[in-house]
Amino acid sequence: MSNLKLLSSCETDYNNDLHNWGEIERQIKFLAEAGFTHTQWMQNWEGEYLYSKSEMLQARDVLRHYGICAHSIHASEGGKRTAIINGTKVFRNRYRFEDIRKDYTSANEYLRLAGVELLKNRIDLCTYIGASVMVLHMQLPYMLFEEKPEEKAAYYKQVAKSFDEVKEYAKAAGVRIALENLICTPQKYQDEQFDRMFDRYDSDFLGFAYDSGHGALMCREDHYHFLKKYNSRLYATHLQDNVSISDELLYQEDGDKADLEVLLHDKHWVPNVDGTLGQGILDWDLIAGYVAKAPLELPADFEVCLYGEDNSREDELNQLITCRRQAELFYQKVIKCKAE
């Protein structure tokens, strides 16, 4: 282990998701200064923005300039799921929303095709920056399914049309899509989603992205349920430490308030790999063991939120250095598990 080259990865928008290139480059520069070797390109992870070819070249060249390797990106499913309604922030995931103009799950065929175009745009971004995995959300309008059971078949029919159209494009580019486990969506609906999708599509095209913080919130009996069940398809991670949430808050009658509590509890803390950070409930030895068994290109990606105290850049960089050290410790745990 003493001669092992230590690898580490943190997402590009650890500090903000601002879309001006000055801020994007600053964060990548800080990742390099903190000692990270890899990143997941996270900018524009939601919304309907299409990258131009020149921007893809710019992303490639900025990463190259700072010596950071991008082995994954976070694609957008189209639209934004958070909104302010009557002065309150809500997470719109229980029903369909036709104000989303690019949505690969949409019942509107034009909007669905626009969503397919958005996915192909992100596959192109992968090609330009050298990423082989594209993480993707697939929000489930589960209350619609409960109220109108016939809508479930219609929903999955549209999803299948979109993935059928994307599959060969992704394979030709050497890019695999990894569906992420979600927040604000009950576990049973996600189990059904992953089972349906993985039964239909082979592992050369479609896999799983494990968000540890989301698992801590939504998997009530076992925070590692998805990590264990879909380990053979694990191609990407969003590793973050987190708390969980009480049943009282999660299952309250007002669904919007419950979703807001889930969002507030999604902490994105630096993984407490060696137990020195004093926060988080997740077992990083267990997670490392499952990552070691998975067909995942190392290093595993951390997904954290870091803000310098009083907007101090020095403090922000110091937090990044702490994060990088934890990422290296996690990498060492994974390598040790692989050797056992």
Please write the tens of the pLDDT for every residue from 8-56: 999 999 998 878 999 999 999 999 999 999 999 999 999 999 999 999 9
Orientation of helix 21-34 relative to helix 313-339, angle to 10°? 60
Tell me whether residue 9 is in a domain. no
Tell me whether residue 245 is in a domain. yes
Count of the separate structural domains present in the chain? 1
Tell me whether residue 147 is in a domain. yes
CB atoms under 10 Å from CB of 267, counted, come to: 17
Write down the pLDDT at residue 18.
79
Task: Report how far residue 269's alpha carbon sits from residue 284's, in angstroms, rounded to the nearest whole number.
Answer: 13
Tell me whether residue 203 is in a domain. yes
Task: Report how far residue 136's alpha carbon sits from residue 272's, in angstroms, rounded to the nearest whole number.
Answer: 26
Tell me whether residue 247 is in a domain. yes
The pLDDT > 90 percentage for the chain reads 87
Distances (CA, A) of 295 to 196, 207, 233: 20, 10, 7
Q: Find the CATH number of the domain harbouring 162.
A: 3.20.20.150
Residue 296 identity (one-letter amino acid): L
pLDDT surpassing 60 at residue 1: no
End-to-end CA distance of the chain: 13
Tell me the Cα Rg of the chain. 19
Chain centroid offset of residue 288 CA: 18
- pTM of the predicted structure, to 2 decimals: 0.96
Q: In the structure, what pLDDT confidence band is assigned to residue 3 with cuts at 50, 70 and 90?
A: confident
Q: Looking at residues 276-304, what average pLDDT do you find?
A: 97
Name 85's bridge partners: 88
Phi, psi at residue 6, to the nearest 5°?
A: -85, 125
Q: Looking at residues 110-115, what average pLDDT do you find?
A: 97
Q: State which residues form the domain around 282.
A: 21-339
CA dihedral 231, 232, 235, 237 (to 10 degrees): 0
Nearest partner of 134 among 14, 219, 62, 235, judged by Cα: 235
Tell me whether residue 13 is in a domain. no
C-beta separation of 55 from 30 below 8 A: no
Tell me whether residue 1 is in a domain. no
